């Protein structure tokens, strides 16, 4: 199976997926350095379609957004940052979707709440690969003029790069592997992280996959070093 940017429907949840961030996550975190101290601000741009697909299968369980914008704020010498994302051109099964909480504003737009990102190691005992764990996701959106309403909650891990190298841009990749999110644990041990979406307003929650690639470009004259 070619897993590169493979959009898959996830199987039913086979393990406990954590929605709240446990205190034990700090063991796998590392700090980032903002050049010149203070806080580095960055802009986010999607480099491919963003796809969210639950395990109901077919087009009805898939949301595709064509572009992504957003902001990142990385304090100096901190293992955490704040992230806000806005997805544009979002559709499901041929119908436009719109965020209702936080408010999207226009048809086809879904915004996230302010997320806390954690700089984390992904493999036990290894310096790399590393990633960002986005926590506290809580987004409600509707499609087909409100006929479909879903709420997305939980946490998701994307892989990034650039240990011990000052960079003006970082990329983050969220991928599925087989039938689950590629990265689900910090240092491949302990707590399993994931995203949950309800099938309909007030319906049963099931695990869902998020597939996307993002570029973070730091403000002019600023660089960020991941001190892995």
For residue range 194-211, what is the model confidence (pLDDT) as tens digits?
A: 999 986 766 778 888 999
Question: Over the stretch 60-73, which tens digit does the pLDDT of each residue have?
Answer: 778 999 999 999 99
Q: Measured in whole angstroms, how far is the alpha carbon of residue 145 from the centre of its chain?
A: 26
Largest interatomic CA distance in the chain? 50
- C-alpha to C-alpha distance for 56 and 66, rounded to whole angstroms: 22
Token duo for residue 87: 């997805």
Residue 17 phi, psi dihedral angles, 5° rounding: -100, 125
Query: Coil, strand or helix: which one is 113?
Result: coil
More confident residue, 104 or 137: 137
pLDDT, position 1: 35
- Mean pLDDT for the chain? 86
Q: Measured in whole angstroms, how far is the alpha carbon of residue 138 from the centre of its chain?
A: 12
Q: Where are the beta strands (DSSP E) in 161-223?
A: 166-167, 169-174, 176-177, 180-181, 195-198, 205-218
User: What mean pLDDT comes out for the span 169-175?
Assistant: 96
Question: Over the stretch 127-150, which tens digit does the pLDDT of each residue have?
Answer: 999 999 999 999 999 999 888 899
Query: Coil, strand or helix: which one is 115?
Result: strand
Counting every residue written for the chain, the total comes to 228
């Amino acid at each position: 199976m070619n897993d590169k940017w493979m959009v898959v429907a996830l199987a039913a949840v086979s393990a406990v997926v954590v929605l709240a961030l446990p205190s034990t996550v700090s063991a796998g975190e590392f700090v980032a350095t903002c050049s010149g101290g203070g806080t580095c601000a960055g802009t986010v741009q999607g480099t491919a379609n963003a796809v969210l697909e639950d395990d109901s299968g077919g087009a009805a369980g898939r949301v595709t957004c064509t572009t992504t914008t957003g902001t990142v704020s990385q304090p100096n010498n901190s293992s955490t940052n704040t992230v806000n994302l806005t997805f544009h051109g979002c559709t499901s099964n041929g119908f436009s979707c719109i965020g209702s909480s936080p408010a999207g504003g226009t048809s086809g737009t879904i915004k996230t709440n302010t997320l806390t990102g954690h700089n984390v190691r992904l493999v036990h005992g290894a310096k790399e690969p590393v990633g960002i764990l986005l926590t506290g996701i809580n987004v409600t959106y509707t499609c087909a003029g409100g006929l479909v309403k879903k709420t997305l909650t939980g946490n998701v891990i994307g892989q990034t790069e650039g240990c011990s190298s000052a960079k003006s841009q970082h990329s983050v990749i969220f991928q599925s592997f087989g039938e689950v999110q590629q990265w689900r644990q910090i240092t491949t041990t302990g707590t399993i992280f994931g995203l949950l979406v309800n099938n309909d307003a007030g319906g049963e929650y099931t695990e869902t996959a998020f597939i996307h690639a993002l570029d973070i470009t730091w403000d002019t004259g600023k660089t960020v070093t991941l001190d892995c």
